[in-house]
Structure 1
Amino acid sequence: MGRKKRDVELVILSDIHLGTYGCHAEELLRYLKSIRPKRLVLNGDIIDMWQFSKRYWPKSHMQVIKHITSLLTKNTRITYLTGNHDEMLRKFAGFRLGSFRIDNKALLTLNGKKAWIFHGDVFDVTMQHSKWLAKLGAIGYDTLILINTIVNWIMNKMGREKISLSKRVKDSVKTAVKFINNFEKTAADIAIENQYDYVICGHIHQPEMRRITTEKGEVMYLNSGDWIENLTALEFDGTDWRIYRYQDDKHAQSVKLPKRLKNNLDNDLIFKDLVNQFLTVKK
């Protein structure tokens, strides 16, 4: 018998960036297979359409999509909120099919409190005025992650601890730290003005959960992080929030991947299976 799955009221994932070298799809698949969420919010940049290429689409990436789709047949409500890397989906905002929906933002009432959930790129000045620069930066970031993967492979062979080059860059550049602080403050200010209890974002790949207080009030700011560097998510158990960290979850790490993933099942076959599952969702 397989291990019992963990019941979770609400899971929020963002910045998975399927289709890029930095995406930790296998780890995400293990996490998803270890839980039974009642509700799943995909908060932007799930598929990286900026860098999507048919030349790089591992089967583990398709399996993540397939697993998420299969949750629809298990009474999980799924909301896909658009981000900047999957902004092409914004034209489908308002789409509904059974328990699946696509939106640009979500307003939820959780245990009597109001939660405002959106990706967060609306606060990014680079996105607003220089999209080409943002896309160039994304390519550079993915290249840095690829180099980091090679460096960590060498470090592992030498018996040394892994390092995060991009995290070191972020932590050492004052403008990056300032951008993150401004991002969090802007989100908090607007949420307080609108009397939300929680404001939940992604986009900046920085997992966080803290109460922000201003002269106008206070709000709980949460960020789900990413599945490039941090491998994090947000979980709500009906009463409390927590930042989930894959590195601390021995149970998820022990989950075996499906044999068909290792047997190199063709992506076309996986896609056909995915479509069949999607069509069985109750309308």
Structure 2
Amino acid sequence: MKKRKLDIAVISDVHLGSYECHADELLTYLSSIQPKSLILNGDILDIRRFNKSYFPPEHTKVLRKIITLSMKGVEVYYITGNHDDMMRRFAGVSLGNLHIVNKLTLELSGKKAWFFHGDIFDISMRNAKWLTKLGSYGYALLFIANRAINWSLKKRGKAKYSLSKKIKKNNTRSLDYIARFEKSAVDIAIENDYDYVVCGHIHQPKKSRHETDNGSCTYLNSGDWVENLTALEYSLKRWKVYRYNHDKLSPFFMDEELKNMNMQDLINSIAVAKSKPEKEGETPLES
């Protein structure tokens, strides 16, 4: 099948290793595009809740797909988040075309874009990690309950229902937090002369234009692959929010080499990529 060519694809909040992750859908999406750059904007792995008894094959296939893309020449930037914050110790490390960073700045057609996960705005995560961990387990339980409800609704021929979306929509504190998050990101971006600020973290896909007395900026949020199944796409000098459940996808299949590749082959490929010298003229990645 013909793949859609993109300059940049941005995904975040995949939460591989958690029950609520939609790995199959994400794998289908990644197999449908041909980006020049793939930006993983935090919480791709849910290391905070990692359990050796739960990491299904579909989740491993997503990791394989990402590494396969990097091996095919796609620049892959792994930006660390709060659920995979253990990765921050590796910030600045590059394995071939796969780069681990805490934040990223790119110039896109003469405009500056600033990418970061967004948990820096969450005071509770910086000052009370135990509270955040407790909240994440509650979030998981909510999804388990939601699965049971949706199974029952499907049996009766009714549409799916999202408990978490309903709670967020009717929770004033949640709506206030989302608004403050967006304003903080925009204010800092404008103050630092960025044209785009691109975040994840709050699981709310969005594209909006902001103008203040100090300047203007476009706010973008990639959403998640837990509830919304969304990504950001940049092509022909324009950004759009991609919605898996609404934008049509032809059936795509995993690359043949991905199907046949085992984890040892994957490790060997990374080692080979790491041992290759940098091309002449390459500059170190900003982290």
TM-score bin (small chain): over 0.9
Q: What is the aligned counterpart of 2:184 among 171, 183, 186?
A: 186
Q: Does structure 1 retain, via aligned residues, the 8 Å contact 2:64–2:258?
A: no
Q: Does structure 2 retain, via aligned residues, the 8 Å contact 1:59–1:261?
A: no
Return the offset for 1:97: 2.4
Equivalent in the alignment of 1:103: 101
Q: Give the direction of change, closer, same or farther, for the CA distance of 1:138–1:260 in structure 2 (3 Å limit).
A: farther
1:271 aligns with 2:268: no
User: Separation in 1 of the partners of 2:200 and 2:111?
Assistant: 20
Return the offset for 1:259: 9.5
Q: Which deviates more from structure 2 when the two are superposed, residues 44-53 or residues 273-282?
A: 273-282
Q: Secondary structure at the match of 1:188?
A: helix
Q: What is the aligned counterpart of 2:225 among 224, 227, 230?
A: 227
CA offsets 1:144-203 (integer angstroms, 9 cap, x no match): 112111211111111101011001011111000000000000000000000100000000
| Unaligned runs of at least 5 residues, structure 2 | 278-287
Q: Give the direction of change, closer, same or farther, for the CA distance of 1:162–1:211 in structure 2 (3 Å limit).
A: same
User: Separation in 1 of the partners of 2:131 and 2:57?
Assistant: 30
Letter in 2 for 1:25: A
Return the offset for 1:216: 1.3
User: Separation in 1 of the partners of 2:74 and 2:135?
Assistant: 35
User: Separation in 1 of the partners of 2:176 and 2:217?
Assistant: 20
Q: Which deviates more from structure 2 when the two are superposed, residues 123-132 or residues 270-279?
A: 270-279
Equivalent in the alignment of 2:252: 255
Return the offset for 1:225: 0.2
Return the offset for 1:257: 5.8
Q: What is the aligned counterpart of 2:44 among 46, 70, 73?
A: 46
Q: Which deviates more from structure 2 when the two are superposed, residues 3-12 or residues 176-185?
A: 3-12
Letter in 2 for 1:10: I
Q: Does structure 2 retain, via aligned residues, the 8 Å contact 1:39–1:76?
A: yes
Equivalent in the alignment of 1:245: 243
CA offsets 1:209-245 (integer angstroms, 9 cap, x no match): 0011222111100000000000000000041000011
User: Separation in 1 of the partners of 2:83 and 2:38?
Assistant: 19
CA offsets 1:41-74 (integer angstroms, 9 cap, x no match): 1010000001110111100000000010001121
User: Separation in 2 of the partners of 1:231 and 1:76?
Assistant: 22
Runs of 4 or more off by more than 6 Å in structure 1? Answer: 258-262
Q: Give the direction of change, closer, same or farther, for the CA distance of 1:91–1:222 in structure 2 (3 Å limit).
A: same
Letter in 1 for 2:201: H
- When normalised by structure 2's length, the TM-score is 0.92
Return the offset for 1:258: 7.7
User: Separation in 1 of the partners of 2:105 and 2:77?
Assistant: 11
Q: Which deviates more from structure 2 when the two are superposed, residues 17-26 or residues 271-280?
A: 271-280
Q: Secondary structure at the match of 1:235?
A: strand
Q: Does structure 2 retain, via aligned residues, the 8 Å contact 1:111–1:238?
A: no
Q: Does structure 2 retain, via aligned residues, the 8 Å contact 1:236–1:242?
A: yes
RMSD in angstroms over aligned alpha carbons?
A: 1.8
Q: Secondary structure at the match of 1:226?
A: coil
Q: Give the direction of change, closer, same or farther, for the CA distance of 1:251–1:168 in structure 2 (3 Å limit).
A: same
Q: Does structure 2 retain, via aligned residues, the 8 Å contact 1:63–1:270?
A: no
Alignment of 1:187-202 (within 5 A): 187-202=185-200
Q: What is the aligned counterpart of 2:110 among 107, 112, 137?
A: 112
Return the offset for 1:250: 3.0
